[in-house]
Chain A
Amino acid sequence: MKFLNKIDKKYVLTLIICIFVALLCGAFIMLATGFNPIEAYATIIEGAIGKPRLLGNTIEKFMTLCLLGLATAIGAKGGLFNVGGEGQLFFGALASTMVGLTLSSLPAPIVILLAFLTAVVVGGFYAWIPAMLKVKLNVSEIITTIMLNTVAIKVVTYLVNGPWVSSSPAVSKGTDYLPDKLAFTKLIAASNLSTGFIFGAILTFLIWYFMKMTTVGLQMKLTGENPRFARFSGLKSDKIMVGSMVASGAICGFVGMTLVYGYNGQMVDTISSDYYFDGMLVAMIMNYNPIGIVIMSVFFAILNTGANMIDMTMGISSQIYDIIFSVLIFLMAANKGFIEWFNQSQAKKKARAIAKEKAGKEGI
């Protein structure tokens, strides 16, 4: 149980307290708007794990959040903020769908492999652009990735409703449906959970292993913490920064593919609604710690699928999820800042007392 000893107990404790307070805030908001919070939270839990189908949806959501959170973490550990995961996800999803549709006559495993490679390459490439701009020209990657998100979403919206729109009258919007043989097999019937989960789990493990156990992971960490120091110690920090960003984009592209092949079946312009930003916030709460992201994703996946349930049955808008989510981040940030501020003022007090004492002695 060496592993458990490594966990920062203080951090976990504050996290648990913050989660509790955030849920209380959510409860207060629901109470203020005329709903019964206890009933709502009970419905959230029931709506997330009450039935096999719902549990499947939660697990699928968990995988999405977790992978996107890890994608953010990889970028951030390497020193670059990838805010553009949403765009990379859209392009990855679209590219893999088009590969599936055009090559549908080939055997399924080959097509899926090709689709996977395309999604990863396209997502990675779309992250490579801002990364190169940052490394070569020092253009802020935060702004470029935010802008490139919108560009990607608009272009995809045009493509799936314009040149690549389905000609079949059975399809209301978006591209053609992928042939059945390409769709991932469902692990729980009628849920969103498919064999994509297994791929995702393997990928998650690989990312964790890569970040924590390999030299490249350590080099990434060093570069992210202090690129200058890393450069002076002989690391190719530029390459590492670009590499971590591309890896981040590639993961987003893969997530896009799982959304299409896992349960959506076709590419539409609503394939993701800010999923990446949810994953990014999870990563931020957990300080980009891979294991932390995995654990936190479970919590938010439950909250997310459950929020859909209270929207349907109780009429509480599912946005309560966003509210609780952001309150939690505010609390975590406030807590961290408050402790630092408290320590500082204590130190100041001490210094002042010592100074006074000294002054007193010298005065005599």
Chain B
Amino acid sequence: MWEQITALFTVGLFQNTIRNATPVILAALGGLFTEHAGIMNIGMEGMILGGAFVAVVFSFTFASAPMGVLFAVLIGIIIGLFFALFVVKLKSDEFIIGMTLNTFSAGLTVYLLRTVFHQTGSWVSTDIKGLPPIDIPVIKDIPLLGDILSGYSIFVYISWVLVFLVWVFLYRTPYGFWMRASGEHPEALETAGIDPVKMKVLSSVLCGIFCGLSGAHLALGYLNCFAEGMSASRGFIAFACVVFGMANPPKVFGAALLFGFLQALAIRLQSVGIPSDLTEAVPYLATVLMLVYITVRSANKKRNRAKKAMAVQAAEEG
């Protein structure tokens, strides 16, 4: 039994963990901005899919991966502005717009794939240039760690750096402060002379960019192809990670890694004879349980704080 368990933990398991986690990390970091700006962004799924499709189309057209990434970012900005136009400017229901964005993105990408590029199901071509794997100079020579940490596409490393940068942006710059205020106390921000609408639009655009990068990595970082419905609920998982990580960048990063690990484990468990359909369901079930845990815990915290405050007040009043 013990041998079977240890046999599961191979280098491949950890490599797959990082591969699965990276698109989710990127999207979830984007979702952090909108979450802090007080927008429930359920449309990340569509944003990722749009980014993946555009990345493949332009990588194919120019036979160059960087062009693919560039256009994925551009489409991310456009989708972000589009989302902001409805949710922030026109004050539509963010849930409806998010869901519709997902449907629209799924429909349009498949439509274009089939009618313009005449591919059904998935699009594989040698002209779709992927991002080259990068070896980190010193780390790659360390026996075990080198295999696990080195040799991915550039986005994997970018995503790690971005975790830190997003944290700095949100908690150490005035823009981050204003963005958080635009979600928590838009009136207070307005009084301070900053337009909360602008901060909300900015958050949406940033989210679009990050989701575009996530899509580009998904399409060009590993498999170099586009498949119908490629985002495969990653937008929703990213959303769950934001909730799960309490909108704190390092915690969200941890949540995304956990998800990646569970997905990778599901594939490994298949080799032991545990059906993959069941193991694939585990991360989603885990999200529900974690969400329950977080909600209950934060409610308890609030209650305790209130109790304490009341006790202090009672003591003061004698």
Instruction: Say yes or no for A284: interface residue by CB 8 A criterion.
Output: yes
In the complex where A144-B288, A151-B285 touch, is A158 in contact with B96 (Cβ < 8 A)? no
Interface window among A2-10, A254-262, A318-326: A318-326
Provide the main secondary structure of the chain B interface: helix
* Stretch touching chain B among A44-52, A98-106, A238-246, A337-345: A337-345
- Which of B47-55, B109-117, B131-139, B153-161 contacts its partner? B109-117
Stretch with Cβ within 8 A of A (4 or more), from B12-20, B173-181, B274-282: B274-282
Please tell me if A233 contacts chain B, counting CB pairs below 8 Å.
no
- Say yes or no: is B107 at the interface (Cβ < 8 Å to chain A): yes
Question: B115 touching A137 by the CB < 8 A rule?
Answer: no
Q: How far is the CA of A315 from the CA of B120 in the complex (A)?
A: 12
Alpha-carbon gap, A158 to B279, bound state (A): 10
Contact across chains for A147 and B288 when beta carbons are under 8 A apart: yes
A112 located at the interface, meaning its Cβ lies under 8 Å from any Cβ of chain B in the complex: no
For B107, give the chain A residue with the smallest CB separation: A322
B86 touches A330 (CB 8 A): yes
Known contacts A162-B275, A281-B100, A322-B104; is A337 also within 8 Å of B299 by CB?
A: no
> Which residues does chain A contribute within 8 Å of B101, judged by CB atoms?
326
Residues of B with C-beta under 8 A to A334: 86, 90, 92
Please indicate the chain A residues that have their CB under 8 angstroms from the CB of B9 in the complex.
Answer: none
Q: Is A29 an interface position by the 8 A CB rule? A: yes
CB–CB B288/A148 < 8 A: yes
Judging by beta carbons under 8 Å apart, are A323 and B295 in contact? Answer: no
Contacts of B233 in A (CB 8 A): 150
Q: A139-B291, A142-B42, A150-B284 are in contact. Are A329 and B89 (CB under 8 A)?
A: no
Q: Tell me which residues across on chain A come within 8 A of B114, comparing CB atoms.
A: 317, 319
Partner of B111 from the list A139, A284, A317 (CB cut-off 8 Å) is A317
Are A161 and B291 closer than 8 Å at their CB atoms?
Answer: no
What CA separation (Å) do A338 and B97 show in the bound complex?
A: 15
From DSSP, what is the main secondary structure of chain A's interface residues? helix
Given the interface contacts A143-B287, A323-B104, does A33 sit within 8 Å of B92 by beta carbon? no
Residue of A nearest to B114 (CB): A317
Closest to B110 in A: A319
B125 within 8 A of A: no
Stretch in contact with the other chain, from B65-73, B162-170, B182-190, B235-243: B235-243
Residues of B within 8 A of A33 (CB): 111-112, 115-116
Answer whether residue B108 sits at the interface, using C-beta atoms and an 8 A cutoff.
yes
Knowing A146-B236, A319-B107, the reply to whether A333 touches B97 (Cβ < 8 A) is yes
Which chain A residue has the least Cβ–Cβ distance from B86?
A: A333
Quick one: given A143-B240, A158-B275, are A326 and B89 in contact (CB under 8 Å)?
A: no
Q: Which residues of B contact A (CB under 8 A)?
A: 40, 42, 86, 89-93, 95-97, 99-101, 103-104, 106-108, 110-112, 114-116, 233, 236, 239-240, 243, 275, 277-278, 280-281, 284-285, 287-288, 291-292, 295-296, 299
How long is the Cα–Cα vector from A137 to B294 in the complex, in angstroms? Answer: 10
Contact between A336 and B92, CB atoms less than 8 A apart:
yes
**Could you say which residues of chain A place their CB within 8 Å of the CB of B108?**
319, 322-323
With A281-B99, A340-B91 given, is the CB distance from A161 to B277 under 8 Å? yes
Neighbouring B residues of A216 by C-beta, 8 Å? none
A150 to B95, CA, bound (A): 19
How many angstroms between the C-alpha atoms of A81 and B281 in the bound complex?
A: 22
In the assembled complex, the Cα of A140 lies from the Cα of B243 at a distance in Å of 10
A-B contact pairs, 10 of them (CB 8 A): A144-B288, A144-B291, A154-B281, A154-B284, A158-B277, A319-B107, A322-B108, A333-B93, A333-B97, A340-B90
The listed residue (A150, A284, A322) touching B281 by CB distance below 8 A is: A150
Known: A33-B116, A321-B107. 19 other contacts (CB 8 A): A33-B111, A34-B115, A138-B299, A139-B292, A139-B295, A143-B240, A143-B288, A147-B288, A154-B284, A158-B281, A281-B103, A284-B96, A316-B115, A317-B114, A322-B111, A323-B108, A323-B111, A326-B101, A337-B90
Pair B90/A326 contact, Cβ less than 8 Å? no
A173 to chain B, nearest CB (A): 13
**Is the pair A137, B99 in contact by a Cβ cutoff of 8 Å?**
no
Collect the chain A residues with CB atoms within 8 Å of residue B93's CB: 284, 333
A171 sits at the interface (CB 8 A): no
Residue of B nearest to A337 (CB): B90
Query: When chains A and B are docked, how far (Å) is the Cα of A34 from the Cα of B117?
Result: 12
Q: How far is the CA of A81 from the CA of B96 in the complex (A)?
A: 11
Chain A residue with the shortest CB-CB distance to B105: A326
What is the minimal beta-carbon distance from B228 to any residue of chain A, in angstroms?
9
| Binary B-proximity of A64-82 (CB < 8 A = 1, otherwise 0) | 0000000000000000010
Is A137 a contact partner of B292 (Cβ separation < 8 A)? yes
Decide: A277 and B103 in contact? CB cutoff 8 A.
yes
A15 / chain B contacts, CB cutoff of 8 Å = none
Q: Which residues of B lie under 8 Å from residue A316 when comparing CB positions?
A: 115
Which residue from chain A places its CB closest to the CB of B232 in the assembled complex?
A: A150
Minimal beta-carbon separation of B32 from chain A (angstroms): 16
- Chain B residues contacting A34 (CB-CB under 8 Å) are 115
Interface centre among B90, B95, B287 (most CB of A within 10 A): B90
Give the shortest distance, in Å, between B118 (CB) and chain A (any CB): 9
Q: Within 8 Å CB of A12, what residues of B?
A: none
CB–CB A147/B287 < 8 A: yes
Please tell me if A247 contacts chain B, counting CB pairs below 8 Å. Answer: no
The contact of A154 among B104, B240, B277, B292, by CB within 8 Å, is: B277
A37 to B99, CA, bound (A): 27
Q: Is the CB of A140 within 8 A of B291?
A: yes
Interface membership of chain A positions 22-61, coded 1 if the CB is closer than 8 angstroms to chain B and 0 otherwise: 0000000100011100000000000000000000000000
Rounded to whole Å, the gap between the CB of A238 and the closest CB of chain B is: 16
- Closest A residue by C-beta to B266: A154
Q: Which residues of A have CB within 8 Å of B91? A: 337, 340-341
Which residue of chain A has its CB nearest to the CB of B295? A139
Closest to B91 in A: A337
